Structures are given as structure tokens and as C-alpha cells.
Structure 1
Amino acid sequence: MGNGDSAQFQNKYMLNTLNLKAFFLTSMLCATIFLAKAQDSDQAYRNTLKATLDRIEDVFEINLQYNEDLVEGKELDYAFWRIVPGNLETSLAQVLAPFDLTFFEKPNALYRITKFDYPRRSVSFGEDHLNYLSGLYSNKMEWESRKAEMKSCLIEALGIDDLPETPASQPIITQRRKYKGYSVENVALEVLPGVYTTGSVYKPRPFKKNHPVIITPNGHFGQGRYRESEQIRCSILAKMGAVVVSYDLFAWGESRLQFPSTAHKTSIAHTIQTWNGIKWLDYLTSLPETDPDKVGITGGSGGGSQTMLLTAIDDRIEVSVPVVMLSSHFSGGCPCESGKPIHLCGGGTNNAEIAAMASPKPLLVISDGGDWTHTVPELEFPFIEYIYGFYGEKDKVKNSHFPEEGHNYKVSKRQSMYPFMAKYLGLDIEKVLGENGLVKEDDVTLESEEELKVFGKDGEDLPKGAIKGLEALYHMLEKAQ
């Protein structure tokens, strides 16, 4: 290369270097401008959660109900972009999920926003879930396979098979009180070492042979098994010819002699309450005067949850009447109903499918318009009826709906339950009918709470070996395992 060529090359190199530097400077400037604009866009698309919810109310013409502290100070990237035209449920889900919030539908276009609550979903979620479940089986064989899988999983999820053996101790029975057409005695069963379930057993008078059995798990209604409506229901069923038990919830009633009321809000309550129901079935069906082939169950609210669950896992139950509890979008807000992961069984289930596990046995679903059962006639009942159709037994599943009533097990709902139990358990309803064709409920004797207790007024008769406190219960269960 000559000197001229070298100088030309150096000049060309310096020019290219300057051009390259200019290119990089220009690129960096463009990138800075782009990022600045992108940041401006992010800020423009960011909005408060409150403003986003207000916009959803306007777009979909609904009302949202929530506590202000749930939304205060919360902001959302691309807030309005999360609102999907024509799809309220998706819009709410996309807006609320980043804050661990959820929603559920109430009557009159009102939606309640709360912290994420796994037992409580929207009605549309329940509808979608039922559509999914109904696609899993289209005939009796497929459903029976699903039901067997579910039963095994429910028992495993509750930990029933891991419980220690039932002690061989004898039932503790108080003096029997005799009334017109029935009697009452208080009974305690040692269901686990040092753990007792307490209840009142109502028997027909005269007490003969082959009496059907009915267990009535309690719900979260005030006074538990001591309340007036519970005593009336059990007394009337006994007058009709059944042996009936009303028993305390775990850490309610006399169970509080062993466990504080706060223990009821723990997941172990789910297991113990279910175990108590099984042990009451063992006891009552073992009596020489009862017929173990004629067993019914009915309970309201949390007692309705137990009604569906026990029917699903205990084949001895022939007639089931869950009251004001069945729903595809609510599985029970108390740990005693959903504390154990039973609703994860089968890849995900709900109380409608669990209730359908009663098929093809007689099932009466009682619902109302004032709680989560308001959708039963249009949503859950057709799903259950579909399953009963696999057996050709649609006539054995019924729904009594009370659209103007609320969450209770009062007289109108009992008047629906009595003839259903009578029909399928062979009870004599004629004994208790009035001139108007309805069951007379005024001819029973209401007892005081003290009279209905097994262990005395202040628990003075609680056995010395009874354990006390959750720590002692967990220790006993761990030792047994």
C-alpha cells in the first residue's frame, strides 16, 4: 500500500468511525424518547382500583358492594384495558385478582367484593363448573366410576381412615323422660380416646321393633340442639315412629366442656363432626329395636353440609334431606364444612355433585330465595336430576323451594320434610296430621337446656378420662398414627 493509499484509508476510517458514533448517539436518543413515551403510556393506562370499579358499574349497569379499605390506595396497570365489553365476570376477575380479591353475585344486580374466599364463588363460576362436571359422565357406568373415586377421596381428605379405633366404653345415658307419643334421653358416646359426642335421642312411644333411624346433624343456628325448632323436629319424627338423635357440633354445646369455642373454627372440626355422625349411626342402628336398613338424615345450614357429606360416604343412609345448604358456588364458610380439602376431590367438585352421590336413593333438596341456595331450581337441581336420570329414578329426587324465605329450618320447610321421610322410611304421618292436612307441631314438650345435658348442669359428670384442649386432641391423634 502506498502513502497515498494509506492516507486515503485513514481518512475513510475516521469518517466511518464518526458515522458509527453518530449512529449510536442517534439510536440512544431514539431509545430514550421511545422509553419516555412508553413510560408516559404506562402512566396514562394506570388508574386506581376505585376508579376502575366505578367504570365497571357504569359499563355493566350494576352495583358493587365492598368495604372502602379493600380498595383504598390500590392502583392497577392497564386498569381500563382489563374491562372486557360484554363479559362482566371476566372483567371483575381480571381487575380483582392482582389484589387477591374476589366477588360473588347477590340478587338484584348486586355484586359483593371481598378478600379471596375459596368456599365462595360467583354464580357463573358454579354454572361453568356444573357444565364441566356434567361432561365427565353421560351414563350410569361413567357416573358410578366417578362416584366411587369421589367417595374414596372424600374419606381420605377427611382423614377418617387415620383415626384411632373407637374405645370399647359403654354409652353414657341419662334418665329417660316420657311425653305424649315419644321419650327423650341424653346420650354421650366416646368416639375417640377421651373424646365424646353428646346428643339427645328421641324414641317413639310405645317403643316396639323395626323403628327407622334418623340422625339430625346441627347447623350454626343459635342454641344448637337445645333450640325450639330442633326439639320440635325431633319430637315429631319420633312420634311418627323413628328413633332420632340431635347431636352437638364439635366445640358447641357440651363439647365445649372439652374444647374451646374457637376450636370449632379449625379444620379438625370437619373430621370430628363427620366421625361423630358415623358413630351415631353405629349406635342407633345397633339398637335391637331399630331397623338398620331404614336410615334417614336431615340438617340445615352446616347440618345440611354434613347431611350431604355423610350420605356420600356412608352407604347405610337411605333417605337424605339437606336444607338451605346445597350450592354449586358456595361450599360452606366454616372450617367445619370446608376445612379439609374435600372439594378438591376428583380434580375439583362442589356440593351439588356431592349431594348427587345419594343417587339413586331418595333425596329432597330444600332451598330458599334468601341465601346461596336461591339458584337451586334453575341451576343445581337440573344437574342432580340429570344424574338421577342415569338410573331412571328422577321421581326420587325433589326440590322444595321457598323463594320468599331466608336461611332457616322453620315450619314451612319442616312441613315439606315430614311427608318425604314418611314416604321413604315407612313412618306413620297420620298420627301427627291436623284437620288441615298439615303436621301438628304444638303437641310437644319443650325442654330446658339443663334437661338436655348429659354431663350435668355445669359439666360435673364429665368422665375423668376426657381430654381437654386442641393440643391434647392433636397429641392423641399423632400418638395413634
Structure 2
Amino acid sequence: MIKQLVFAAVFLTAIGRVSAQTSDSQYRKPLKEVLEAIQKRYGVIIKYQEEQVSDKWLNYADWRFRADVDETLRQVLAPLDLKVNKEGDKKYKLKEYEYYRWEPQDGWDYLNQLASQYQDKDSWEHRKQQIRPDLYKALKLSPLPPAPQSVPLVTKKRKFQNYTVENFALEIMPGLYVNGSIYRPLKPKGKVPLMLSPDGHWAGHRFRKDAQIRCAMTAQMGAVAVSYDLFGWGESGLQFQYSDHRRSLSLTVQTLGAIRILDWMLQDSQIDTARVGICGGSGGGSQTVLMTALDDRITLSIPVVSLSSYFYGGCPCESGMPIHASAGGTNNVELAAMAAPRPQLVISDGKDWTAHMPQHDFPYLRKIYGYYGKTELVENVHLPDDGHDFGYSKRKPVYDFISKHFGLDTKGLKNAAGDYDESGCAIEEEKALYAFGSNGENLPSNAIQGYKNLEQLFKNEQHEAIK
């Protein structure tokens, strides 16, 4: 009995020592020291900035080492919201954790898991009916807030070769405006198609040269093109800070803006409601996919250098609201499949997250379109040597696609080799595309200012909806 008591005392003392060491020190080490140990043990190089590692400590540091260096790095960095990018044989670069960027195989595996829920048109339609209402809820747009009854501000038309341009400001909620420009054919023939053009995250916004050229060419081909600002960018900067664009409500505001623009433009008797398209690049491509998933009035979509099953959009205007949690979880490629069987062109390149589009994601889209017997209505133009831009190599297939499906006239714009002449497109100065005046002098007196007031506006609307 005495021996048992002595053993128990020794055992409890040992446990107490381990417990004390674990609870007090937790085997903590500075991250910099841990990274140096990893480099020495595995013979690798890890590049990092001093500010990335200073004042960062890792609990249970030595217990996170594994036989494989990649798994060791995951064990070490994940608790600190850090990761590494591999830059060559045994070379790594430390980066902040990117919630929106997965490894390709992880994205493909998840898309396969999603696809296991449907095997034919009926089961896919059932899945769509689960996703769509959840998207509206995630966006805080269920129900949609009442549309203001104000008259849109529209500037005088400017005439160019075969097309006109006018700027607009549209009130989408009380005191909240979306701004843009409308490019129209100079001499329309009967009812004409409509193309929405959400802006992407390129410098210059919708005022940049390639954005003006694409809309001007669309108008010269016989369609109305509407180019509009991202939230917090362009003229939206008169109401909000540029930094507000990287806050969650940017996704909601941009989506509501697109819905309101569509509502307004479809009241125009000249617009053919059976031919309504949307085309955007980068973040504008994400908006293209989302709007097409939300709204059946859109009959054609063209997401450019954006779509991927392993990329969710690195800006809150793409992923700031929990849209990807809809119906138990989804991703951008499944959302793009909701366009089926409406014509869809996916443009991808070899130097961003769309680089593997032909390998997995596009075959998935073809499968969904196959449920309707319409595989020919979804296309992929993959440009392996191109990068992340909206250059002519991307604009050309856009022109081809909308002219084919909307029956547009390319005579005089396209030569025998199939190339387009964009020389007739005028490039205007930025201020010429403003609706509120060159110095914001026409900003309505009821315009709200600041993100806090925007949040309050949505709270008020939700309160009214509950009453």
C-alpha cells in the first residue's frame, strides 16, 4: 500500500510538472527562430520581411515538425494566418494567409463534391433553387429594398463615329447612387440588345482606355453598353472613401446597383429584353457570374480572367458577404453553371488563377450544359501566353461571341482575317465621363456620406422589412 502511495505521488508530481510546463510556456518559440530551424533541418530557403515575423510567437513549436517540409510549414504557419508560396526547388516566400485562394486540386475536389449532388437536369434545377434564395439572403437583399422614385440624372449625349455617350447617376437606395456611362448606337435598327459592363480592379477604373474601347465597339456593332463604377471607386468616391471598397457591403451595393441599372434600362422600349448580356473582367467577372446566377433577365454572360474553382475573389466586393456559404456551400464555378443553358463565354489566361480552366472547370460547365442538350452554348477561349488584363486578345472573342448570339452587325468593323478595327473609338478624358460634374458640383443634396451612414441605411431598410 505504501509503495502504491509513493508511486501515485511521484506520478502526480510528474504530471503536475508537465502540466505546468504546458500551461505556462506552451513550448513557445519566436516564429523567426522556428523558420531558421526549418531552413536548417530541410535545406530550404524561406524569404520573408522582418515585419512579417517580428513579435510573432508559435505555441508547441517543436511539436509541429513533420517528415515533409511542406506539411511542417502548414503546421507552423496556419495558426498564425500565414502561408508560403513555392518559388522554385526548395525556395519559399512567406505570405499572409489568403482565404480566397486554394490549391487547384483542393478547388477541383470541392467542385467534384458539389457536383455529386446532381446527375441530370431535374436534380441540377433543384440545386439551383436551393442556391439562389440563399444568395439574396447572404447579400442582405431578401427582400430587395424599395427602389427610390427619383428621376435618374442623365447628361447630354456626346456624338462620336457611329455611337453616342451619356453619363448617368442612378439612386439605388435613399441617398445612395451608382454612376456610369451609356454607349448607344448612333443609328439603331429596331430593338437593340443591352450589355452591362461592371468594372474590374484595374487602375483607371471604367475610365481606362480598354473599357471605353470595348463599350464603344459594342455600340458600333448595334448594342447599348452600360459601363458603371465599382463601389467606392470612380464617382462613388464622392460619397465614400476609396478604402471603403474593401469592406463587406461593397458586394451588396455593387449587386444592387447592377439590379437597379437593369431595372431602369429595361424600361427603355428600344431595348430588346430577349437579348440582355453582361461582361466584366477580373472583379467585374465575378460580378458577371453573380448577376447571371441571380437574375434570369440576363440571357448571355462573359466572365473574363476571373472564373476559377480554387479562387473566390480576393476583394470584399467579390467575397465580403457569405454568398459562398449558400445552400450548404458553393463556389464561383458552380455559380457560373447557373447560367445554363444561356450562352456563356469564359475567357481565361495562363498567368493567373484561371490558368487551369480547360483541365477541370470548363469540362464541368460543359457537363451542366449537357443536362439541357446545349453544350455548344458554353465556350472557353484560353490564352496560355496571356496575363491578367482586358487587352485586344480578350476583347476580340467578346465581340465575336455577342455578335454571334445577338445577331450584331460587324460590317465595316471586321476585316477578312477576322480582326476588328477599333480606331473609330474615341478615348475621352476621365472628367468627361462624370455625371456629377467635373468637381462633383451636381452631387444631389440627399447623398449620404461615409460607410457608417451606409451601414445605418441598410439597418433601417432591414428594420422596415421586419415591421
Q: Shared topology, TM-score over 0.5?
A: yes
Counterpart residue number, 2:229: 248
CA apart distance, 1:74: 3.5
Counterpart code for 2:405: Y
Gaps of 5+ in 2: none
Counterpart residue number, 1:422: 403
Of the three residues 298, 302, 312, the one matched with 2:283 is 302
Counterpart residue number, 2:347: 366
Bigger shift: residues 58-67 or 447-456: 58-67
Give the direction of change, closer, same or farther, for the CA distance of 1:171–1:48 in structure 2 (3 Å limit).
Answer: closer
Counterpart residue number, 2:109: 128
Bigger shift: residues 99-108 or 269-278: 99-108
Q: Helix, strand or coil for the counterpart of 1:296? A: strand
Find the aligned partners of 1:384 and 1:103 in 2 and give their Cα distance: 31
Counterpart residue number, 1:6: none
Question: Aligned ranges for residues 371-382 of structure 1 at < 5 Å?
Answer: 371-382=352-363
Of the three residues 173, 182, 197, the one matched with 1:216 is 197
Counterpart code for 2:182: V
CA contact (8 A) 1:240 1:431 kept: no
Counterpart code for 1:133: L
Bigger shift: residues 260-269 or 118-127: 118-127
Find the aligned partners of 2:87 and 2:218 in 1 and give their Cα distance: 35
Larger Rg: 1
Give the direction of change, closer, same or farther, for the CA distance of 1:46–1:166 in structure 2 (3 Å limit).
Answer: closer
Bigger shift: residues 97-106 or 320-329: 97-106
Bigger shift: residues 94-103 or 152-161: 94-103
> How big is the alpha-carbon RMSD for the aligned residues of Structure 1 and Structure 2?
3.0
Q: Percent identity among equivalent residues?
A: 42
Give the direction of change, closer, same or farther, for the CA distance of 1:428–1:111 in structure 2 (3 Å limit).
Answer: farther
Find the aligned partners of 1:303 and 1:425 in 2 and give their Cα distance: 21
Cα shift readout 1:162-183 (whole Å, capped 9, x = no counterpart): 4531111222111111111111
Counterpart code for 2:235: E
CA contact (8 A) 1:212 1:292 kept: yes
Corresponding position: 1:198 with 2:179: yes
Relative to its length, the structure with more helix (as a share) is: 1
CA apart distance, 1:81: 6.1
Give the direction of change, closer, same or farther, for the CA distance of 1:286–1:442 in structure 2 (3 Å limit).
Answer: same
Counterpart residue number, 2:426: 445
Counterpart residue number, 2:140: 159
CA contact (8 A) 1:163 1:477 kept: no
Corresponding position: 1:352 with 2:333: yes
Find the aligned partners of 1:380 and 1:420 in 2 and give their Cα distance: 20
Q: How many residues align?
A: 459
Cα shift readout 1:278-315 (whole Å, capped 9, x = no counterpart): 11111222211110110111011110110000000010
Give the direction of change, closer, same or farther, for the CA distance of 1:184–1:51 in structure 2 (3 Å limit).
Answer: same
CA apart distance, 1:193: 1.2
Give the direction of change, closer, same or farther, for the CA distance of 1:267–1:431 in structure 2 (3 Å limit).
Answer: same
CA apart distance, 1:349: 1.2
Corresponding position: 1:77 with 2:80: no
Counterpart code for 1:83: R
Of the three residues 210, 225, 247, the one matched with 1:266 is 247
Counterpart residue number, 2:299: 318
Counterpart code for 1:203: R
CA apart distance, 1:105: 6.7
Counterpart code for 1:384: L
Question: Aligned ranges for residues 54-73 of structure 1 at < 5 Å?
Answer: 66-71=48-53
Question: Aligned ranges for residues 66-105 of structure 1 at < 5 Å?
Answer: 66-71=48-53, 74-75=57-58, 77=60, 79=62, 82-83=65-66, 88=70, 92-102=73-83
Q: Helix, strand or coil for the counterpart of 2:433? A: coil
Find the aligned partners of 1:158 and 1:314 in 2 and give their Cα distance: 14
Please report the TM-score for the alignment, with normalisation by the length of structure 2.
0.89
Corresponding position: 1:394 with 2:375: yes
Gaps of 5+ in 1: 1-19
Counterpart residue number, 2:158: 177
Find the aligned partners of 1:135 and 1:27 in 2 and give their Cα distance: 55
Give the direction of change, closer, same or farther, for the CA distance of 1:35–1:444 in structure 2 (3 Å limit).
Answer: same
Find the aligned partners of 1:346 and 1:461 in 2 and give their Cα distance: 43
Find the aligned partners of 1:34 and 1:276 in 2 and give their Cα distance: 62
Question: Aligned ranges for residues 36-47 of structure 1 at < 5 Å?
Answer: none
Find the aligned partners of 1:169 and 1:353 in 2 and give their Cα distance: 37
CA apart distance, 1:221: 0.9
Bigger shift: residues 381-390 or 207-216: 381-390
Give the direction of change, closer, same or farther, for the CA distance of 1:342–1:415 in structure 2 (3 Å limit).
Answer: same
Give the direction of change, closer, same or farther, for the CA distance of 1:52–1:474 in structure 2 (3 Å limit).
Answer: closer
CA apart distance, 1:468: 2.0
Of the three residues 415, 424, 437, the one matched with 1:456 is 437
Q: Helix, strand or coil for the counterpart of 1:412? A: helix
Find the aligned partners of 1:390 and 1:99 in 2 and give their Cα distance: 44
Counterpart code for 2:277: G
Counterpart residue number, 1:343: 324
Counterpart residue number, 1:232: 213
Counterpart residue number, 1:149: 130
CA contact (8 A) 2:34 2:61 kept: no
CA apart distance, 1:459: 0.9
Corresponding position: 1:471 with 2:452: yes
CA apart distance, 1:469: 2.1
Please report the TM-score for the alignment, with normalisation by the length of structure 1.
0.86
Find the aligned partners of 1:392 and 1:460 in 2 and give their Cα distance: 54
Q: Helix, strand or coil for the counterpart of 2:432? A: coil
Q: Helix, strand or coil for the counterpart of 1:431? A: coil
Give the direction of change, closer, same or farther, for the CA distance of 1:370–1:80 in structure 2 (3 Å limit).
Answer: farther
Give the direction of change, closer, same or farther, for the CA distance of 1:325–1:31 in structure 2 (3 Å limit).
Answer: same
Give the direction of change, closer, same or farther, for the CA distance of 1:378–1:129 in structure 2 (3 Å limit).
Answer: same
Find the aligned partners of 2:42 and 2:294 in 1 and give their Cα distance: 43
Q: Helix, strand or coil for the counterpart of 2:95? A: strand
Find the aligned partners of 1:123 and 1:171 in 2 and give their Cα distance: 44
Find the aligned partners of 1:108 and 1:136 in 2 and give their Cα distance: 39
Counterpart residue number, 2:389: 408
Give the direction of change, closer, same or farther, for the CA distance of 1:420–1:61 in structure 2 (3 Å limit).
Answer: farther
Find the aligned partners of 1:334 and 1:91 in 2 and give their Cα distance: 29
